[in-house]
Amino acid sequence: GAGVSQSPSNKVTEKGKDVELRCDPISGHTALYWYRQSLGQGLEFLIYFQGNSAPDKSGLPSDRFSAERTGGSVSTLTIQRTQQEDSAVYLCASSLYPTGGQGGELFFGEGSRLTVL
């Protein structure tokens, strides 16, 4: 497709289970970002990829969170042993070039809504 695609759009899981969230960026976009959006909290940065490398993972809240990107394209965010406080919308964005040094525009997917019971 033409835009950023995320799956699943909704995920309900039980506390303690692992979940995987997938992001398909726009073709050719080298930079990829994960954000978390909680009610009233705005967007919280999680991790940034340039190609397959993650030069900035400073926003990952704990070692239960990890992410990878393969082939400079698809990225997966994994949350192990989910907790109720992990409930949020997880947004993926991609850009043709990094936003920091060159002002690249981020294109967002519609997000994956995670509910941990």
Partner 1 sequence: AQSVTQLGSHVSVSEGALVLLRCNYSSSVPPYLFWYVQYPNQGLQLLLKYTSAATLVKGINGFEAEFKKSETSFHLTKPSAHMSDAAEYFCAVTGGGNKLTFGTGTQLKVEL
d(CA 6, CA 30): 17
d(CA 76, CA 55): 16
The structure tokens listed for 1 are: 């497709």
Q: What is the DSSP letter of 2?
A: -
Per-residue binding letters, 43-82, with partner 1 (x by CB under 8 A): x-x--x-x----xx--x-----------------------
**Footprint of partner 1 on residues 75-104 (CB under 8 A)?**
91, 93, 98-101, 103
Which positions lie near partner 1, rule CB under 8 A? 4, 31, 33, 35, 40-43, 45, 48, 50, 55-56, 59, 91, 93, 98-101, 103, 105-111
